[in-house]
Amino acid sequence: MQNLEHLLQPIKINSMELKNRIVMPPMGTGLGNRDGTVSEANIAYFKRRVQSGAGLYITEISSVHPNGSVSPSALRIYDDTCIPGLSKLVEICHSADAKIAVQLHHAGRESFYQLKKGNAVGPSALPSFVFGGTPREMTNDDIVEIIEAFGAAALRSRKAGFDAVELHAAHGYLLGQFLSVHSNRRNDQYGGSMKNRARFIVECIQEVRRQVGQDFPISLRISAEEAIKNGYDIEDMKAIVPDFIEAGVDVIHASFGTHGSPAGIIQAPIEYPQGFNVWLARKIKETLDVPVIGVGRFTDPMVMNETVKRGDADLISVGRQHLADPDFLKNAIEGHPERTFQCLACNQGCIERLIYEGKSVRCAINPETGQELLYPVQQSKNKCKVWVVGGGPAGLTAASEAARLGHQVVLFEKGEQVGGQVIVAAQAPYKEPYADWIDRLKARALQYGAQINTCSEVTETMLLEGNPEVVILASGAEQFIPSIEGTHLPLVTDAWSVLKAEVPVGDNIVVVGGGLTGMETADFIARKGARSLVLVEKLEKSPVNPLTSHGNMLNYRLKKADCRFMFNTEVKQITEDSVVLVKDHETQTISPVDQVVMAIGARPVNDLKQFLDHQGIKYYLVGDAADPRRIIEAVDEGAKAAWDISQ
């Protein structure tokens, strides 16, 4: 057992006693019913989360007013019809000997849904950084109405059985909008000085306290720094936090940034270390004698324990790790931290899927998350002999899940090690944890009883002689090298060879392909100290969205390294020391060039598909073998193949 004595200490907040210092913060799921009530999917998702053993769980945002919901499926708490569903979440949490709070929320201008309907409101008629639309400026009557809505929602929370409430004044939503000069230009008592801009939050807290009484805990989630140009900083926040405490707050949940902050700071990517943001909690603690919840991409209970031991925070907010592997604390307590899948901070399923795709929550490395109603718990009654061809993310996940469900599983990987393209990608800057995830996924598959054979390429003869009942074809993809004059020359190589250090990095380099592989390879090359670096992409812009956390960081580092981006550009010819390009119908030549790295993409490898069809062998085509895609799709398809076999 790991020594977690500080993390596992109980703590009392007002009348509420928590069994330990871990808090699961609010995380949007998109799983609610279309009327904003709690769905069966919400309940199943929450049942799995409370198995983590945290002391306090805070529900996802629950809107206090109809014009404050971020989407139709976001939970609401602005009328009594929501109470029965929310009470079910309370019962689930209490059955796990934990406490539960509901987060009271109003989106203000940060809701595409409300902006599109014309219902969005804000302190001033200033456009959203994220969505671009402009809200209606709130009148004094609107302000009174919303203050009363927060109070009524808090009372409703107590009636539903919650142990506490949290007011969401962080991340650029309505309460936080009043604090910011980027959204509040009022010239009345709610605008101007920082103290005046905080008045709306103070009055919401006062109304909540009036409605719930003195013994009911109130948390306030703040962005301790706005993390945006000309925004407020921690010193500004320290000056007004005492007003929040005086108004009735019992605990401060010290987050950071807004949805408009650069680099996706509130959903910090892999580049940020654990606890990177906890210094803000320490600053708040130095000012006030109230418990403070620290935030900052925490995944490891030992790091959490040390943070509490140092006194940087009283409690630790653990968000995305609850999605990647809710057993993280149990594994640590039982002395098996190596079994935990640590969150990769990729944001593919938890952030980007919700914000950019408008879909419900998932996790790239945990196919159970968001699919708890589909996830088979019991072993299959009809056990099969299953062969998995390929040991990338899709194949390893399929092998692990099929073995967990009781099937006789053999995985064949033609290479010397499993992991597929992830092992290559893990060589890029900051992505070492991806290789660790592959190691743990392999270990899990072996733990469940799967057999893994490396240096084993499956042939048609092997299939006939081995006679598997089901084949999961996860044979991956190969790099695509286009037909360009000069690609046969010695200076031309491919991205995988560079990342695997099979070829040395040159001095004057052209990377062809501006997708994720190309950008991460360029990032790798920049770290090696290339003299000149040009990234060529035929599209008008990179497929890597710069608004995503990792995409933003990649763009920032490459620009800082003086990487030259050439979009809407195609390679016409490669010579022994130059690259001829066509941009806007004009020919350009880059010289001198001593290395050209091809990173245009990959194509599926599924040579066995036709044979399996011909022999009538049941098979599933998953991952890159079907079509090159992200980790989240590969893992999901691998898992679902195993689940389907087990039905």
Tell me the helix, strand and coil percentages in the chain, rounded to 5: 35, 20, 45
pLDDT digits (tens, 9 = 90+) for 531-547: 999 999 999 988 888 87
The span from the CA of 520 to the CA of 532, in Å, is 16
Asked if residues 319 and 24 have their Cβ atoms less than 8 Å apart, the reply is yes
- In this prediction, residues 228-246 reach a mean pLDDT of 96
Domains and CATH numbers, the chain: 11-355 (3.20.20.70), 385-479+604-645 (3.40.50.720), 492-600 (3.50.50.60)
Residues 444 and 396: their CA atoms lie apart, in Å, by 9
Give the Cα-Cα-Cα angle 561, 516, 484 (nearest 5 degrees): 90
Beta bridge partners of 430: none
Stretch 50-66: mean pLDDT: 98
Of 625, 582, 222, 597, the closest CA to residue 428 belongs to 597
pLDDT band at residue 480, thresholds of 50, 70 and 90? confident
pLDDT confidence band for 647 (50 / 70 / 90): confident
Q: What is the pLDDT of residues 65-97, one digit of tens each?
A: 999 999 999 999 999 999 999 999 999 999 999
pLDDT at 615 over 90: yes
Q: Known catalytic residue: 113? A: no
Name the phi and psi angles at 302, rounded to 5.
-65, -40
pLDDT at residue 230 is higher than 90 = yes
β-sheet bridge partners, residue 254? 222, 294
pLDDT level of residue 1 (50, 70, 90 thresholds): low
Compute the distance between CA of residue 305 and CA of residue 635 in angstroms, rounded to an integer.
31
Indicate if the pLDDT at residue 174 is higher than 90.
yes
Q: How far apart are CA 83 and CA 453, in angstroms?
A: 53
Q: What is the pLDDT of residues 209-226, one digit of tens each?
A: 999 999 999 999 999 999
pLDDT reported for residue 18? 98
pLDDT-based confidence at residue 263 (cuts at 50, 70, 90) = low
Mean pLDDT of 286-290: 90
On the question of pLDDT at 519 being above 70, the answer is yes
Q: What letters, b where the CB count within 10 A reaches 16 and e where it falls short, cover 327-354? A: bbbbbbbeeebebbbbbbbbbbbbbbbb
pLDDT of residue 542: 85
Q: What is the mean pLDDT of residues 107-116?
A: 95
Confidence at residue 260, expressed as pLDDT on a 0 to 100 scale: 78
Mean pLDDT, the chain, as a whole number? 96
Residue pLDDT, tens place only, 117-145: 999 999 999 999 888 999 999 999 999 99
Q: Could you report the per-residue pLDDT of 555-596, keeping only the tens digit for each?
A: 999 999 999 999 999 999 999 999 999 998 899 999 999 999
Q: Residues of the chain with pLDDT > 90: what percent?
A: 91
Residue 84, H or E segment:
helix 83-95
Q: What is the pLDDT of residues 299-344, one digit of tens each?
A: 999 999 999 999 999 999 999 999 999 999 999 999 999 999 999 9
Work out the pLDDT band at 476, boundaries 50, 70, 90. Answer: very high
Q: Which residues contact 256 (CB under 8 A, 6 or more apart)?
A: 223, 224, 225, 227, 265, 266, 277, 280, 295, 296
User: What local confidence, expressed as pLDDT, does residue 404 receive?
Assistant: 98
Band (pLDDT 50/70/90 cuts) for residue 549 is confident
Query: What SS3 class is residue 171?
Result: strand
Question: Helix 199-212 to helix 234-247 angle, to the nearest 10 degrees?
Answer: 30
Q: Work out the pLDDT band at 370, boundaries 50, 70, 90.
A: very high
Q: Indicate the pTM of the whole model.
A: 0.96
Catalytic residue among 45, 173, 190, 232: 173
Whole-number pLDDT of residue 264 = 63
Burial of 133 (0-12, 13-18, 19+ CB in 10 A): middle
pLDDT of residue 2: 74
